[in-house]
Structure 1
Amino acid sequence: MLDEITFEVLRHRLDAINDDAASVLARLSGSQLAAEARDLNTVIMAPDGRVVCCGRYVLAQVVSMHLVVRDIVDQYADNPGYGPGDQFVTNDPYVGALHQPDVVVVAPVFVDGRLVAWCGSTAHQPDVGGPNPGGITYDARSIFDEAPPMPPIRIVEDGRIRRDIEREYLARSRTAELNRLDLVGQVVANRNVTEQVQGLCAQYGAEVVGAVLDRLLERTEAALRERLRAIPDGRWRHVSYLEYRPYGSAAGEPESIYAVRLTMTKRGDELELDFTASDPQAPGAINAAYPALANFAIGGVLIYLCGGLPWVPGGVWPVVRVRSREGTVVHARWPAGVAMSTAATCQAIRVSVNACIGRMLESTEDFLSMVMASCQAAGGGGGTVHGVRADGTAYATMTLDEITGGGGATWTGDGVDSSGYTTSPGASCANVEVNEAYLPVLYEGRTELPDTGGPGRHRGGVGALHALTVHGTAAPMTMMSFGQGLQHPLAAGVCGGEFGGQSLVAVLPRADLAGLAGRAAGDADWPLPMPLSTMEVGAGDVLVSVSQGGGGLGDPIEREPAAVLDDVRDGLVTAAGAYRDYAVVVTGEPADPRVDEDATARLRDGRRRERIGRAPAPLSTAGRRGRRLSAGLDLVPDGDDSVVSCARCATAVCGGRESVHEHLVVRDRPVAARAPLGARYPGGERFTVRHFFCPACAAQLDVQVCRAGDPVLAAIEVL
């Protein structure tokens, strides 16, 4: 019998053992990706591979680790087998790795000949081979044009690293020494977990430790089901878009557009994430294999729905059904290219899960505190860089400057500025000095960029601007940009909040850098070319990038003018942005800005009139009625049926069985209206930001990004 005190002691001990493994890996790593930015994670798994303990670093790397273990159990039980002291390495995204640069090492944990657990680690390697340094080939036609995937191979046998396998693994890489250190770090981290778990079994008994793992899985599943039962049933939708230029595209031909479509249905104590309507897979690197889909879908559920619950992916998996269709951009069929999935399709998957869970949570008072807009997504400023140092040695890696985008606004406050990915809570960008120590580069600047946070009653966090040049070598640096979020924004707002700002990437003459200081969102057009598969940064050039802002929450013109003024004083919003995005008139000198209260009131009244073409109806003072459908809508009984009404003015909008979005006032706005520094990329005109207003009081109830001319999306459906 496992008593509660022992359970709590061992639960926390297992979590500490797993976190210690991540620290070991980071300390032994030779790459700034792991040592500084923590692009890694570690897990402890049950004997069948279900993930019980996971680190707080890159969550999207660990959910599918059980698929790796199951592949080993299914394929290798007899030949070559697995036993005490063995470890297996893989980077196969069709087996369970996130993508080829994320190398997974797993190890069984035996006690007296009995398998009691598995442990594992994953780390993003600087280079794992393939045609393009950095391990990602933008214009790959299939996985055969990418870094070669390696199925699980026993690299440690009876406690010793197999030199033949290690040599074969390292021979693929241009950064073999860094990869060797990461590999040693992963092996040692797993060995430490194994020894400490064996120590727990010696002290408490293997049966007790196994019972703790089982109870964590069972209780997490039960707690999540209980939470879902407390939420009204419903169905919610979101669409995210990707741009990609496949190999062989004609010069001047616009990027192809791919849509990730999610329909999320909650019934009783189960959640279904249905991606089957997503577009067919691309002839290139942006596709996600099924393990990547599972990683970002379940990882998103952990972050956005499981606050206050144990983070036990193996307990969440039975509650959440991920539906997909092989051959789509979210579930690619072999041999589709997938190496760039984490910066493309996977980001669209995460944003879609975030948006739908946010819609679901705003339907009940009990969980409003958990509502969160989307954080940044990977953008054009993310990518790999490579070249040759002055001594002739090669370098290939990522700067991770991209992990400086804004966090999403929450029900209780603004998003965190330049905070990075919500689903990577322990990861961060490397310090400027660290990147300059590892790479032949010099940073001209890194600063938070105003007006990039998504406007709302609560503002999304702002992103950052980076500018760097080649330093200490005559050879140019080549960058391969991920190329996303340039033509349209990706980080969705919630409850009527706006999207965060787009990303930006460009190679400019160094002399043009000073002129950027005077540019702002909404300025006169600054036409920029879409990045090619490689961009060369030579002497006299500067690589400029902007990370995306986080989404906002709530109607922007309901934000307190005093809060907008604080943002202006802090350099997070410009006076022009206050006028454009929040309808707040800021006057006075830049050193002493003030709000003109009367002009602001008149401006906000005028904006409401513009939204619906007439004077808005007065707000209701009677409070909310019926069942809460969203932050701004109620489902009100009407005889034997029901109607959807505005929560602010109590005006009936449509019948309860109708699509409410088709009965709201719709206004489209060009995506370039808030583009950072006024940047304009060709193809952006194909997208629009669609705003939905109450036809009576003009409250902004929803904001969507769609292709121009697309039909209205039924984002909320009553079951």
Structure 2
Amino acid sequence: TPGMLTAARRRLVHLQPLRDEAAIMLRQVSGSQIAVEANDLNTAITTADGTVVACGDYVLCQVASLDLVTSDIIRNYATDPGIRPGDQFMTNDPYVGTLHQPDVVVVAPVFHEGTLVAWCGSTVHQPDVGGPATGGLALDAGSIFDEPLPVPPVRIVEHDRIRRDIERGYLIRSRTPRLNALDLAGQIAANRAAVAAIQQLCRRYGTETVIAAMDHLVDVAERQLRARLRELPDGRWRHVSYLEHGAPAPDNSDVYAVRLAATKRGDELVLDFSGSSPQAPGAINAAYPALVNFAVASVLVYLCADLLWVPGAVARVVKIISREGTVVHAAWPAGVAMSTATSCQAIRVSVNACLSRMLEGSAELARLAMASCQSSGAGGGVLSGVSRSGEPFGSMTLDELTGGGGATLLLDGVDSSGSTTSPGASCANVEVNESYLPVLYLRRAELADSAGPGRQRGGVGCVIALRPHGTDEPIRVVSFAQGLQHPAAVGLDGGDPGRQSMFYAGGVEVVDDLLAGGRGEPALPLPDAAARLTGDAVHLAVTQGGGGYGDPLERDPAAVLSDVEDGLVSVAGADRDYGVVLVRAGATSWTVDREATTARRRLVRSDRIGGREPAAPVAHRPGRRLTNALDLVDGPGGRHIACARCAAPLSPVDGNPYLAMAVVEGPVHEVAPLPARYPGSERFVIRRLHCPSCASRIEVQVSLRSDPVVQTVAPIA
């Protein structure tokens, strides 16, 4: 009846209890700290054709493309071996639909009275899925044959019973078979719980009603997203993110660019990644499903923050364009196991930057724009070896999820908050990691000056130090190895990027010197496959901070002083990054020197434009909002782009206003939170772009020194 359909729709709009119950079931059965402590997992529900209707808030980017897995099964297995009640299928094939090989997906069809109603799915990052390197990640992989060989979808459960032959064949690949078996059992149990819950809905409301209600939910979410896009001005936004892989090369051939051009017309959005670099020889590439996962998850987080999160609706509205054979859409048999910490993070940052600049075009929706969070792979890695008892061990610590969140128009970023596309994930407890791994933590603490400065600053990242404990054998340390040569977490509206990460495995003297402030920027080696911890050696990692929002010179000096008192900004950083001069107020306290701060900020603004006196701001914005800092203005000479603060014209509407801006360029090492450099970092620069008239900060770009300034915003007719 109509009343029953309305009730079912209302119930299905709130599928969170169902998906969360499945996730709780998974965590209760699993014994891995990756699942139990860090929540590196997710669950989802799809329609019968695989359209993702609901997904958990854990690692959002693990399930946004679950439709690719289910559609592969429907396409290939409908008649042989068939799809029946009580079946479940497992895969870790990144060329089919998972992020990378360690992320194992298990899906189950939901039948009621002979009708395929839906699918349920669960994903867990399992500790080790085989391959030459423990944890499945290999810096020196030349192709997927140097990584864990993926398992295409295979029926792991038949007639509601685990197929022991398939399970045995899967587990024998792993160095951690007991943990993997528990994860697999948890995923199967989670799917069973979800199947039973949906069947209960069918018994209560009828199968046709439940199917119609799920379709309705996707329709509603699609309408919401299209309405959101219609509220925003049409335009084109660009961003470039950089990755490094291999030893620095004179021709920069070790640097790979993820290039995104996002175009919005009416209620449609196109994300075009086809300009990205050709694929790398090794592990940093993303297969197409990973591109879809991170792009869709980023749209949900950065554009649909206050809307329904229905991945299947995004797929109807957003067109993703890519080119096979690139670093974001690799062709078989490219290595892709490290994609989640490398190319996928660059995909997220690029979508984040473009969508946030799009939101800035609306006075009402600009409040939703958010600078980039940390790059979740930065500072992280896999530790492996043999314990004193002779047992092999190998796992991520998940310490890299202590990076900072991005700032918004009104709020500072959240300190040590992790990745936005993994909203429910968290770093594992120190004591838990020490129980799984033969290590002793020396430090895990928030790190001053790691956040991107801005009117609203980004969230700070963390510093982590640990050493071997309880083993006489070397501990292998495989780094995720991105964000070391340059910052990666972009700022917005003139805010600086979050500061770069750090990775070191070696002598305690170097570590102590770095943590004490250093005696002169030591050159640290780039991570490689041979990195080991032995004896008293220490593993040091720094996670990135979040990007800042707005001109740092506009930050309230009282807020800067508060950050200094909380240990989030140093006294030197207050002066360097914010132009705030602090003086002693006591043995352990500081106060703002208001007069010196005013003079310091006036000098910095003048230096931005070659020593000239900055123009005064106008009382009202001169035209239609393009971004927070730029307006479209109709004048006697035609429409042009102008500074929103002082009304100075910068270019014709079809020109490039960034070419007229005053650029202050500096090396990236000047913003590193600890005094160290890596080979290759000298190739990257931070470009701070200012209005040539009033000296207001308009944008900050991280770039190869040889690359041009990017025109990040362009109106279209």
Q: TM-score, normalization: structure 2?
A: 0.98
The 1:12/1:218 distance shift into structure 2, 3 A limit, reads closer
Q: Which residue of 1 aligns with 2:35?
A: 34
Q: Which residue of 2 aligns with 1:166?
A: 167
Q: Which residue of 1 aligns with 2:113?
A: 112
**Contact 2:605–2:614, Cα closer than 8 Å, also in 1:** no
Match of 1:550 among 535, 546, 549: 546
Q: In structure 1, what residue type is equivalent to 2:573?
A: G
Q: Which residue of 1 aligns with 2:245?
A: 244
Q: In structure 2, what residue type is equivalent to 1:115?
A: L
Q: Which residue of 1 aligns with 2:214?
A: 213
Q: Which residue of 2 aligns with 1:586?
A: 582
SS in 1 for 2:82: coil
SS in 2 for 1:60: helix
In the TM superposition, 1:477-626 aligns within 5 A as: 477-519=475-517, 524-588=520-584, 589=586, 591-626=588-623
**What do residues 110-162 of structure 1 show as CA deviations (whole Å, max 9, x unaligned)?**
00110000000000000000000111111111111110101000010010100
Deviation at 1:255, TM superposition (A): 7.4
The 1:14/1:529 distance shift into structure 2, 3 A limit, reads same
**Contact 2:377–2:480, Cα closer than 8 Å, also in 1:** yes
The 1:5/1:593 distance shift into structure 2, 3 A limit, reads farther
Deviation at 1:512, TM superposition (A): 4.5
| 1: CA distance, partners of 2:512 / 2:77 | 60
**What do residues 594-640 of structure 1 show as CA deviations (whole Å, max 9, x unaligned)?**
11111111111110111001333333342112210111111011247
Q: In structure 2, what residue type is equivalent to 1:604?
A: R
| 2: CA distance, partners of 1:58 / 1:186 | 15
**Contact 1:255–1:683, Cα closer than 8 Å, also in 2:** no
Q: Which residue of 1 aligns with 2:638?
A: 641
Q: In structure 2, what residue type is equivalent to 1:212?
A: A
Q: In structure 2, what residue type is equivalent to 1:555?
A: D
Deviation at 1:370, TM superposition (A): 0.3
Q: In structure 2, what residue type is equivalent to 1:401?
A: D
**Contact 1:503–1:548, Cα closer than 8 Å, also in 2:** yes
Q: Which residue of 2 aligns with 1:437?
A: 435
| 2: CA distance, partners of 1:584 / 1:683 | 32
**What do residues 40-64 of structure 1 show as CA deviations (whole Å, max 9, x unaligned)?**
0000000000000100000110111
Deviation at 1:678, TM superposition (A): 1.1
| 1: CA distance, partners of 2:577 / 2:182 | 49
Match of 1:381 among 379, 382, 385: 379
Q: Which residue of 2 aligns with 1:183?
A: 184
| 2: CA distance, partners of 1:40 / 1:408 | 23
The 1:664/1:13 distance shift into structure 2, 3 A limit, reads closer
SS in 2 for 1:76: helix
**Contact 1:475–1:538, Cα closer than 8 Å, also in 2:** yes
**Contact 2:9–2:214, Cα closer than 8 Å, also in 1:** no
Q: In structure 2, what residue type is equivalent to 1:208?
A: T
The 1:57/1:132 distance shift into structure 2, 3 A limit, reads same
Q: In structure 1, what residue type is equivalent to 2:544?
A: Q
In the TM superposition, 1:398-477 aligns within 5 A as: 398-477=396-475
| 2: CA distance, partners of 1:474 / 1:508 | 16
Q: Does 1:693 align with 2:694?
A: no
Deviation at 1:527, TM superposition (A): 1.5
Deviation at 1:403, TM superposition (A): 0.4
Q: Which residue of 1 aligns with 2:323?
A: 325
SS in 2 for 1:78: helix
| 2: CA distance, partners of 1:287 / 1:227 | 32
Q: Which residue of 1 aligns with 2:153?
A: 152
Q: In structure 1, what residue type is equivalent to 2:288?
A: Y
**Following superposition, which runs of at least 4 residues in structure 1 exceed 3 angstroms of deviation?**
1-5, 252-255, 511-517
**Contact 1:481–1:534, Cα closer than 8 Å, also in 2:** no
SS in 2 for 1:573: coil
**What do residues 230-275 of structure 1 show as CA deviations (whole Å, max 9, x unaligned)?**
10000010000000018xx99x998700000000000000011000
Q: In structure 1, what residue type is equivalent to 2:376?
A: A
The 1:634/1:315 distance shift into structure 2, 3 A limit, reads same
Moved more, 202-211 or 146-155: 202-211
In the TM superposition, 1:338-417 aligns within 5 A as: 338-417=336-415
| 2: CA distance, partners of 1:590 / 1:63 | 54
| 1: CA distance, partners of 2:407 / 2:639 | 32
| 2: CA distance, partners of 1:368 / 1:265 | 18
| 2: CA distance, partners of 1:34 / 1:341 | 20
**Contact 1:378–1:484, Cα closer than 8 Å, also in 2:** no
Q: Which residue of 2 aligns with 1:69?
A: 70
Deviation at 1:2, TM superposition (A): 4.3
**Contact 1:41–1:55, Cα closer than 8 Å, also in 2:** yes
| 1: CA distance, partners of 2:312 / 2:547 | 30
**Contact 2:13–2:217, Cα closer than 8 Å, also in 1:** no
| 2: CA distance, partners of 1:365 / 1:156 | 53
**Contact 2:9–2:216, Cα closer than 8 Å, also in 1:** no
Q: In structure 2, what residue type is equivalent to 1:328?
A: T
Q: In structure 2, what residue type is equivalent to 1:451?
A: D
In the TM superposition, 1:267-282 aligns within 5 A as: 267-282=265-280
Match of 2:712 among 703, 715, 719: 715
SS in 1 for 2:703: strand
Q: In structure 1, what residue type is equivalent to 2:45?
A: I
Q: In structure 1, what residue type is equivalent to 2:302?
A: Y
Q: Which residue of 2 aligns with 1:223?
A: 224
**What do residues 352-394 of structure 1 show as CA deviations (whole Å, max 9, x unaligned)?**
0000011101111120110100000034421111011111000
Q: In structure 2, what residue type is equivalent to 1:416?
A: V
Moved more, 390-399 or 532-541: 532-541
The 1:616/1:81 distance shift into structure 2, 3 A limit, reads farther
Q: In structure 1, what residue type is equivalent to 2:683?
A: R
Q: In structure 1, what residue type is equivalent to 2:145?
A: F
**Contact 2:130–2:136, Cα closer than 8 Å, also in 1:** yes
**What do residues 187-219 of structure 1 show as CA deviations (whole Å, max 9, x unaligned)?**
010001111111111111111111110011001
| 2: CA distance, partners of 1:661 / 1:56 | 38
**Contact 2:284–2:343, Cα closer than 8 Å, also in 1:** yes
| 2: CA distance, partners of 1:188 / 1:400 | 25
**Contact 2:382–2:397, Cα closer than 8 Å, also in 1:** yes
Q: Which residue of 2 aligns with 1:49?
A: 50
**Contact 2:342–2:482, Cα closer than 8 Å, also in 1:** yes
**Contact 1:89–1:103, Cα closer than 8 Å, also in 2:** yes
Q: Percent identity, please.
A: 56
**Contact 1:102–1:124, Cα closer than 8 Å, also in 2:** yes
| 2: CA distance, partners of 1:356 / 1:82 | 41
**Contact 1:138–1:285, Cα closer than 8 Å, also in 2:** yes
The 1:701/1:515 distance shift into structure 2, 3 A limit, reads same
**Contact 1:221–1:315, Cα closer than 8 Å, also in 2:** yes
SS in 2 for 1:365: coil
The 1:138/1:514 distance shift into structure 2, 3 A limit, reads closer
**What do residues 304-344 of structure 1 show as CA deviations (whole Å, max 9, x unaligned)?**
00011111000111100000000000000011110011111
Q: In structure 2, what residue type is equivalent to 1:259?
A: A
Deviation at 1:5, TM superposition (A): 4.9
Deviation at 1:507, TM superposition (A): 1.6
**What do residues 507-527 of structure 1 show as CA deviations (whole Å, max 9, x unaligned)?**
23234444344217xx73222
| 1: CA distance, partners of 2:136 / 2:377 | 18
Q: TM-score, normalization: structure 1?
A: 0.97
**Contact 1:507–1:543, Cα closer than 8 Å, also in 2:** yes
**Contact 1:617–1:649, Cα closer than 8 Å, also in 2:** no
Match of 2:312 among 311, 314, 319: 314
The 1:378/1:307 distance shift into structure 2, 3 A limit, reads closer
| 2: CA distance, partners of 1:68 / 1:590 | 62
Q: Which residue of 1 aligns with 2:234?
A: 233
Q: In structure 2, what residue type is equivalent to 1:294?
A: V
Q: In structure 2, what residue type is equivalent to 1:651?
A: A
